[in-house]
A and B are shown apart, each in its own frame.
Chain A
Amino acid sequence: MKPPRSRDLKRYPGFGAVTWACLVFLYGPLLVIALYSFNEIRSITVWGGFSLHWYAKAFNNELIQRSTWNSLVIALCAASMATTLATAAALAVIRHRRFRARETCIGIINLPLMVPEIVTAIASLVFFVLVGIPLGVGSIVLAHTVFCIPFAYLPISARLEGIEGYYEEAAGDLYADSRRAFRHVLLPMLMPGVLAGFMLAFIISLDDFIITNFVAGPGASTLPLAIYGLVRTGLTPEINAVSTLLLLVSVIFVILSCLLGRKRYPAGH
């Protein structure tokens, strides 16, 4: 994982110390959480031997079951919608160069990345109440869809930028109308980007706490909300177990997303 220039970089005074500090503060807590999820005793600071029973307990916890299910459904819906909208946006912005509001559109699409999440959260809540949308799973899906769009947009637009316009022209030249040119040529070529965008959106939705907390309403709970609730009643290795699983899922999705984004077509052997 060392970049080729690392030898020069290493010469800077304090480079080693800063690097280690970053690694420790970033990954240390995660390692500790993961480690104590396997603790035999009910402590998150004292090691009492290896056991998987906190995982068993977590799997049998009805609140965790219900909120996990909610989280998955919400993430699936929000990511699907966000990916669809992001794909449409990317096509409009990148394929129609003469499209006048191009720059503005890119700005608007990416704006949620810049707005503080707490502001988006409050604004969403106020908006839903104002318009009369009942708070619950539906409102969470709506809110997630909106703020997942820029995340889905990134890998999709990057992929689309790399696809020369002449492929669609060739498809049209060979008797495909624009719908079939999209279906048979552009979409398959764009697919790795679309999947990468979907996975990124899925994981962003799955992990979200702040916005969800505001727009969830009384009944609906997601996994991050459930974990937060459990933490307030006291830390147990059960929380560590759930968190570790969530972390694992996130890492796997992010890695897959990156790999897909980089996917090339079969090359010579």
Chain B
Amino acid sequence: MTSELFAVNGISITKVYAGGTGDVVALDDVSISIKDNEFFVLLGPSGCGKTTLLRCIAGFEALTAGRILLFGEGIDHLPPHRRPVNTVFQHYALFPHMTVSDNIAFSLRMLRRDEREIAQTVERMLALVHMAEFAGRYPAQLSGGQQQRVALARALASHPKVLLLDEPLSALDLKLRQAMRLELKQLQEETGITFVLVTHDQDEALSMGDRIAVMSKGAIQQTGTPREIYDTPVNRFVADFIGETNFLDATIRSVNANTADCVLEGGARTGATLAGPAARMRPGDRVLLSVRPEKIAVRPRQQQPGAGHGIDGSITRSVYIGTDTLYQIALDTRTPLIARLQNSRQATDFAVGEAVSVSFDAAACRVLAD
């Protein structure tokens, strides 16, 4: 059996918190493979178990069941201070009684490196996060963004094999958050360290992650590149959580390779893509389809479509949002549909009440597994 050597390999991780009022299953049989030198993002709503998974990797929580391998070696018996993994905490947890320099030097001192080497590394780290002029300050004398950089430098100083970041940007304001996204990405590329970042912000995940694992209720729903997650969501949760989408009820009429011919509620026909867990769907199955608003073409009704599947509807609302216009369209079955049309491409504006015909490619329409 040849297998790739993963930076982090979680095998059937289960974590149950024993509580006074009852047990909480925070992680339910989670398996995860994070590649070396990868920017990996754990994305999911509040309470889905992201932090718990990170804390299991760092060693702060003992697994109820399962194993974690770090570059192929089991680490479950190691306490946090023996794991070559560092964490950037959500609240930074900078030591308030130490200067910026001493904070950054902490891990190196604990590893008993010699002071010359420590001084050099600290200097390098300060430069890396652009904090050289703040070396002598205490954490309380820094802004949130500066504390964030120090926390990063402190965690990177010992050059860990994996860096864990728990919502590192959530305490910053919007502007700074966006700037730090780029910086984090750059930092990961410069250092070559595997980053595992937890967030509940889909924009953050899509813009930074090489790969994303979408979590819900203690389980991983889908893992893939940002494009895979966005374009080919496997289930309703992923399609709904990442970006905006339209859900359409349909029945499969026939299946040809990975394309299904479907009938919508009102009788209109459309093609849809069957892939992943949805591939087991058969003709006659009632399914849910997902179409992204920007993948929908809208034409005036009289211009009968020559190709594609035209579905009749009428505009019920139109919202101008600068680059695009959002149209709410009532299909004749009364299912509401949102279409997003780019203003630069769209020559004609549609008026509210106007009769239109909407269509989308089979490739842009996904059959969801559940």
Contact = CB atoms under 8 A, between A and B. Distances in A.
B141 A268 contact: yes
A59 interface: no
A226 interface: no
Nearest to A174: B107
A238 to B, nearest CB: 46
B245 to A, nearest CB: 37
Grouping DSSP codes into helix (H, G, I), strand (E, B) and loop, the A interface class, with mixed when no group exceeds half, is helix
Interface residues of A, number: 24
Interface string B230-267: 00000000000000000000000000000000000000
B102 to A, nearest CB: 10
Interface in A164-187: 164, 166-167, 169-177, 180-181, 184-185
Nearest to B111: A175
A175 B111 CA distance: 7
A265 B96 contact: yes
Interface residues of B, number: 27
A170 B81 contact: no
Contact of A170 (B85, B87, B140): B87
A169 B85 CA distance: 13
A188 B86 CA distance: 23
Contact of B110 (A176, A267, A269): A176
B71 interface: no
Contacts of A264: 140
A162 to B, nearest CB: 11
A169 B93 contact: yes
A176 B93 CA distance: 15
Contact of B158 (A164, A172, A174): A174
A173 B82 CA distance: 8
B140 A175 contact: no
A173 B58 contact: yes
Nearest to A175: B110
Given A173-B85, A174-B86, A265-B138, 12 more contacts: A164-B91, A172-B79, A173-B81, A174-B154, A174-B155, A174-B158, A175-B111, A176-B110, A180-B110, A188-B97, A266-B138, A268-B140
Interface of B: 58-60, 79-82, 85-87, 89, 91, 93, 95-97, 106-107, 110-111, 138-141, 154-155, 158
Q: Which 4 A-B pairs have the closest CB atoms?
A: A174-B107, A170-B93, A175-B110, A265-B96
